Structure 1
Amino acid sequence: MKTNLKLIISGLFITATIFSISSCKKFLEVEPISSFGNDYVFSNVTNAQKALLGVYSSLGGDQGYGIRLSMYYPYDNDEMMGQGGTPYPDNERRDIAHYNVQPANTQLAGPFNQLYVGIERANICIDNIPKMEAYTNGSAADQKELRRLYGEALALRAQFYFEVVRNWGDVPAQFTSSINVSDPYNSRTDRDTIYNRIIKDLAVAAPLVPWRTESSVTSDRMSQGAIRALRARYALFRGGYALRRDRTMRRNADYRTFYQIAKDECAIIMARADHKLNPSFQSVFKDGINAHKFEANGEVLWEVGMTGGSSGVGDSKLGYYNGPRQFTAATPSTAAVGNAALTILPTYFYAFDANDRRRDVTCAPYDINLDMTLRPRTLVTMLDGKFRRDWQIPAVTTSAAQYFGVNWPVIRYSDVLLMFAEADNELSGAPTAAAKAAFEQVRTRGFGGNAALIGTTPSDYTGFFNAIVKERQLEFGGEGIRKYDLIRWNLLASKIAETRANLALMAAKAAPYNNLPATMYYTPNQPTVVWLNSFYAPSPTAPAGSASVAWNATTINTTLLTYYSIAFTPNKSELLPLPQSVIDANPNLGGQWYGY
């Protein structure tokens, strides 16, 4: 692996980058300006800032959270399915989604290598910033800023390692820049060792970085709240289940230590006023992320900034690869823009309560006509909706462009609340009043603030744990979280099997899906979908003046069940194989593990 990495960064000390901040949103408007040696880059605060921003730039683009880490790797799960249809197998994204991935898959090496480039760039900053004269002898302002940069570099390196570990398991780890290493062939490091290190690093990093209200920096740069939230997330993964080399899923005996870390970090965030839920779940996505604006309540603790433009470097395909398509002619035909590649599973749509407002944010059962009115899709072809082109400002509806500059939300305040509730339940053996309150805060927002609709919160350990599992599914659909949650709970295999069984029941129109409508009627030519009958009862007689869509008449057997998780193998598919090019480059990796 190390040799492969050195080929990528050969001769690189660091790429100094400069970011221009637009009037409405972007911190990460990245344009490389040059490459310099370490002595120059770390000679003053301004250059050190540019070096740190160069680390941030390794997060985005096609090989990062622009598409592969956000929309290829997290599927299939029990919410959504990755791209189906032919060709399958394809040795790329369809094979990854449906767990047919092989080491030579063309979509593995790019993200793996880019993550390690990010690690190397972070290592360079971590090695050099504390050595700067201004770090110890500069003005108070310079010292404060350099400590902040050092903390952010530690946190960014941690995020790169977290992404590598949760996808590939035990991997090579290096915590100094390559210029300091004589042997380029690193062997694998146990993931627990990596988790221990990055959790420790974030304990150092957090107090070096200001809280959101202490700084004017926006959420595409890490605040102390973001770092503490990430530390809680890593701790839950360290304390959770993982696929080991002997191909068993297990967690370590010390798991409670890490649940305590998660609880403590979340409690610190919750005790402050820096972050809170937006009262409107829809607004987080429609008025914030898709509108290229920062969420004003601080609900999005950290998002990967995307530049917007014609290049995949530092940009994203959110809203192009996924979400509704738009027809490019007045008479709808096959001529449309957008891939519509991710599919909401019908079972996920019906997992939402009818009054849960998150359903119609997460699920988008329509395409867009040329005049911006909406044309409904069927139940089995429903699209994900949190990142959709018709919500974007400025509108990109009929554009054939693929890059819209939509940021990727890494962690939100609702995650902090639910992590706290989960950790508290695990440590206490049953949910305390504080855990219930955190859980109910998220759930009540999902029901538009009406606590009377949320039902009774379980008071026992198992009931509350199951409620957390369900609530995280409803809250974070389409945000690249669910598959990895199921893995750390050791539930991925059972949830995939349960989903396939439920899809088969739905195809057979058997209970609990025996009363679904075959046809949904709607008012045509409207800017929103105005449904005229219930999703939960057989179809009535067609209302006057209505149009219709064959909601549940299209067979599930010949579409979804043909591809959904079709090659999933328990105690193997929880991880990806290392890219074959990486195995070939490093004789110390020991070949493929985990059954590949």
Structure 2
Amino acid sequence: MKPSIKNNSHTATYISYPHCWDKTGVQKNIRMHLVYLFILILIGSSILSCNKILNKEPISFASPEANYATGAQLLQALAGVYDVLGRQREQLYANKLFNQLGACTDEGFYARNNQVVGPMVYNFDFTDADIDQTWQTLYIGIERANNLIYYINTPKSMNPAERNAILGEAKFLRGYYYFLLVSSFGDVPLKLNPTTITGAASENVPRSPAKEVYAQVLKDMTEAEAICYPATTFNHSSRVSQTTVQGILARVCLTMAGYPLLDKAKYKDALQWATKVKQSGIHALNPSYSQIFINQAQDIYDIKEAMWEADFIGNDQSTTQEQGRVGNTNGIQYTAANFADTGYSYAFINVTRKLYELYNQGDLRRDWAIAPYGYSGTNRVNKGSLIYDRNCGKWRRSYEKLTPKSKNNTGINFPILRYADVLLMLAEADNQLNNGPTANAYAAFNEVRRRAYGFPVNIPNAVSDLRAGLSANDFQQEIIDERSRELCFEALRRQDLIRWGIWTQTMSALANQMNTHLAGNASWKYASLGATNAASSPKFLLYPIPASEFSVNKAATQNPGY
């Protein structure tokens, strides 16, 4: 197990998120870099404002190239591209992807009986602030990536491998942000050059067809795969490695193979990319499922299992303010005044009985992913048979080491890609490609299952292993269920259900099940609201193009139903 580099003071001094290092181990500081850029902008604005009064011409302005003139500045710029994954407006993996936008699936629901409007209950329009800010945040990341890619060759003297790795990560991240956009919004404007270069031409950009956007995603990521560093270069999961790119490429290809593109040829590509990860020999399952999430609370990096994480650090008293809300909005409810030790949590995400019942007897994941206890004041209380009153339990603030704990912010990391996900994608692609699972599909699937029961992953076990001879449809159903058991609450379920073409029917069946279970229980009847709304219209397969885009882009068009 690798120690946390955040506390690895004998090799480097921590400055700020994310961890972007040069060859000497000195971390690069994006926050300060952005502050400096912001100060320059303010100075420039002040000069222009004073010019109206004093009638003076500014002496000079720094050219854009000046911000990318050295290898150190390229690393700072790269950290800025990563930065939107985390703290930026609490979008993406700091909060909203797993909270507001990820709350309502067949795994969980937004546990507030007064929440009747918003994406967490599928009652929103194109003015919704959470959807708008997610859109804007992703395009901020794309703009930063475009600038870095454009100016990558500005430093005249630099280690070629380091330059290539920075370029590879920038291209990958641009592709990843477009992947999040196209899979959530469908057709989107495709911008591949900095606004400072394109100027007015970048203001009114029609939406590119989703197929073209996916083609660019594949192009960016495939080019990145050839030049990114291997995972063994880093002792952390904050920077994207070659095998991370391969794993996400498998995810992209599986998405393209499903609804709405239905490009079945991509199953072959997904299998090849996932197999590359497995054959690298770098990655392996952590023997303990719960330890994955304890590690994320304690800044312990396990690059074998946790291939890519959104990285957070600190509390309200830290010099560095790079916290997210992992465990705070999606943790075990604790609202007592002495939260500095246990950790305050609003517990906005509760679980469905459907998820609870997917786990078989002996599956150790159930009572970790689904908290079997809660708190009444400061007293820990075991939960009963209702199930719907149980919170998401994956990220438990009691394991955070940094005290006193902030009320609303945590240093807990969020997993973007785990090796277990890669194994399940390998098994799914193999099954689809071969019209039934081969031995490779069974082997990958059973590794995940064996770990779930606490068994060695490479030794067959009749208790955990999937029975042989399943049809393609039966094996696919096992994949659907196993991905929920293994990856619940990791911001993947909505897109999984959509690409499988079962979103509406799944949410409709869930609403009926919840209404049946909660009949006569007035306190919890609201729990089915989100599922009922989600199943009410096919428009919810995509989010609306937000109002802010129409205010700046005259070529913008809207998705059906909004």
Q: What TM-score do you get using the length of structure 2 for normalisation?
A: 0.84
Counterpart Cα distance in 1 of 2:219 and 2:529: 45
Partner AA of 1:216 in structure 2: F
Q: Is the 8 A contact 1:59 1:314 kept in 2?
A: no
Determine if contact 1:100/1:568 at 8 Å carries over to the other structure.
no
Partner of 2:544: 577
Q: Which amino acid aligns with 2:414?
A: W
Q: Distance in 1 between matches of 2:127 and 2:556?
A: 16
Residue aligning to 1:521: none
Match for residue 128 of structure 1 among 136, 151, 155 = 151
Pairs within 5 Å for 1:244-393 = 251-252=261-262, 255-286=263-294, 288-295=295-302, 298-310=304-316, 314-328=322-336, 337-368=344-375, 373-376=380-383, 378-393=386-401
1:195 corresponding residue in structure 2:
214
CA displacement, residues 526-553 of structure 1 (integer Å, 9 cap, x when unaligned): xxxxxxxxxxxxxxxxxxxxxxxxxxx9
Pair 1:556–1:187, CA change in 2 (3 A): same
Match among 462, 476, 480 for residue 452 of structure 1: 462
Corresponding residue for residue 421 of structure 1: 427
Alignment partner, residue 178 of structure 2: 161
CA distance in 2, matches of 1:368, 1:483: 29
Q: How does 1:128-147 map to 2 (within 5 A)?
A: 128-134=151-157, 138=158, 142-147=159-164
2:105 maps to which residue? 77
Q: Could you tell me which residue of structure 2 aligns to residue 5 of structure 1? A: none
**1:241 alignment partner in structure 2:** 259
Shift of 1:73: 1.1
What SS class does the counterpart of residue 420 from structure 1 fall into?
A: helix
* Contact 1:28–1:307 (8 Å) recurs in 2: no
- Provide Cα deviations, 1:180-214, integer angstroms capped at 9, x if missing partner: 2141211101111111111122111112112112x
One-letter identity of the residue aligned with 1:238: M
1:99 equivalent in structure 2: 122
Distance 1:573 1:273 in 2: 40
State the SS of the aligned residue for 2:224: helix
Structure 1 position 414, deviation (Å): 0.7
Q: Report the Cα distance in structure 2 between the residues aligned to 1:444 and 1:429, rounded to whole angstroms.
A: 25
How many residue pairs are counted as aligned between the two chains? Answer: 503
Deviates more, 1:255-264 or 1:20-29: 20-29
Q: CA deviation at 1:419?
A: 0.8
Give the aligned partner of residue 523 of structure 1: none
Counterpart CA distance in 2 for 1:391 and 1:186 is 47
2 CA distance for matches of 1:458 and 1:77? 31
- 1:595 and 2:546 aligned: no
Q: Is the 8 A contact 1:171 1:191 kept in 2?
A: yes
Match of 1:109 among 132, 136, 141: 132
Question: What's the CA shift for 1:375?
Answer: 4.8
Q: Distance in 1 between matches of 2:367 and 2:248?
A: 28
Letter in 2 for 1:221: R
Deviations 1:78-118 (A, max 9, x none): 101124311423xxxxx202211111112222221111010
Q: Is the 8 A contact 1:285 1:387 kept in 2?
A: yes
Identical residues among aligned pairs (%): 26
Q: CA RMSD in A?
A: 2.6
Q: Give deviations 1:245-298, integer Å, cap 9, x for gaps.
A: xxxxxx34xx23211111111111101221110011111112x11122112x51
Q: Which amino acid aligns with 1:118?
A: G
Contact 2:331 2:347 in 1 (8 A): yes
Task: Give me the whole-angstrom Cα distance separating, in 2, the residues matched to 1:308 and 1:498.
Answer: 42
Secondary structure in 1 aligned to 2:188? Answer: coil
1:66 is aligned to 2:94: yes
- Mapped to 2, the partners of 1:321 and 1:114 lie a distance apart of 20
Residue 187 of structure 2 is matched in structure 1 by: 170
User: How many Å apart are 1:567 and its aligned residue?
Assistant: 4.9
Q: Which amino acid aligns with 1:411?
A: L
What is the SS of the residue equivalent to 1:383? Answer: coil
Does 2:490 align with 1:490?
no
Return 560-569 or 203-212, whichever deviates more.
Answer: 560-569
Higher helix share: 2
**3-state SS of paired residue (2:223):** helix
For each residue in 1:217-243, what CA deviation from the matched residue of structure 2 results, as whole angstroms up to 9, or x when unmatched? Answer: 41011111111111111111122102x
Structure 2 Cα separation of the partners of residues 264 and 256 of structure 1: 14
Aligned to 2:56: none
Tell me which residue corresponds to 2:230.
211
Query: Which blocks of at least 5 consecutive residues in structure 1 are unaligned?
Result: 1-19, 90-94, 243-250, 509-552
2-structure distance, mates of 1:57, 1:418: 29
| Offset at residue 313 of structure 1 (A) | 7.0
Q: Which runs of 5+ in 2 are unaligned?
A: 20-29, 38-61
- Whole-Å Cα distance in 1 between the matches of residues 423 and 108 of structure 2? 24
Given that residues 308 and 406 in structure 1 are in contact (C-alpha distance below 8 angstroms), is that contact kept between their aligned partners in structure 2?
no
Counterpart position of 1:475: 486
> What residue identity is the alignment partner of 2:359?
F
Amino acid at match of 2:189: P
Q: Please tell me the residue identity of whatever aligns with 1:404.
A: T
Does the CA contact (< 8 Å) of 1:380 and 1:554 recur in 2? no
